[in-house]
Homo-oligomer: A and B are copies of this chain.
Amino acid sequence: MEALKQKIMQDGVAIGKDIVKVDSFLNHQLDTRFLEEVGAEFGRRFADVKVDRILTVEASGIAIAMAAAPHFDYPPVVFAKKAAPNTMVEGFYEEEARSFTKGTVSKLRVSERFLNAGENVLILDDFLAYGEASLAMVEMVRSAGADVAGVGIVIEKGFQGGAAKLKAKGVRVESLAVIDRIDDGTVIFREE
C-alpha cells in the first residue's frame, strides 16, 4: 500500500535497527481518515474470503478492526485483552504472547463466548514482528474450532520472522507494508 509507505516515511520515526514509531497516526494518535483507507485496503485484500468475525488485540488493533469492519459488512469484532478484568470470570481462551520490543510477556485472553466453532475469523493487527501476538490469536481461533480466514497486518517488520511462522501454520498473511530493515534512522521497504 503505497500511501502507507509514504505515511511511514513522512510521519514514522525509526529508532535503532528494530523500532519504527508510528504513534502519530497508528499507536497513540489515530489518523482516522487514513485508517479508513487502511480498512478499505484490508477489504480489498480479503475480498475473496468469508469473514464472520474479526479478532484483534487491544489497544491499537481496535482502531484497525473498527476501520475494516464496514468493508466486511460489519461483522462482530472481538479484541483480546492483555490482563484479566474482574468481570471476565467465565471461561476464556488464553495464550501467552511475548513482546520483544517492549520486553514484556502478556497473557492474551478472549472469552469463550466470543469465538464460535465453524466461523471464519479474520485476524487484524497493527504490527507483525516476531509474530507472538498473531500466533496466539491463531491458536485461540483454532482452539475454538473456528478457521483463520487470514492475518492482516498494517506494518510487518519482515526481518523478525513473524510471517514465516504464520505461513508455516498454514495461515495466509497480508501485510500492507513490509519493512526489510531499519538502517540509521531510515526505513527500507521490501519491493512488492
Which residues on A are within 8 Å of B, measured CB to CB?
15, 19, 21, 23-24, 28-33, 35-36, 58-60, 62-63, 65-67, 69-70, 74-79, 81, 85-88, 101-103, 110-111, 113-114
Contact = CB atoms under 8 A, between A and B. Distances in A.
A86 B114 contact: no
Contacts of A113: 24, 29
Copy tally for this chain in the complex stands at 2
A57 to B, nearest CB: 9
A49 to B, nearest CB: 18
B103 A86 contact: yes
**Majority SS of interface residues in chain A?**
mixed
B78 A102 contact: no
Nearest to A78: B29
Contact of A32 (B15, B33, B76): B76
Nearest to A30: B77
A66 to B, nearest CB: 4
23 contacts: A23-B88, A24-B113, A28-B79, A28-B88, A28-B110, A28-B114, A29-B76, A29-B113, A30-B66, A30-B76, A30-B77, A30-B79, A32-B70, A32-B76, A32-B77, A35-B66, A58-B59, A59-B62, A59-B81, A62-B63, A63-B66, A66-B66, A66-B67
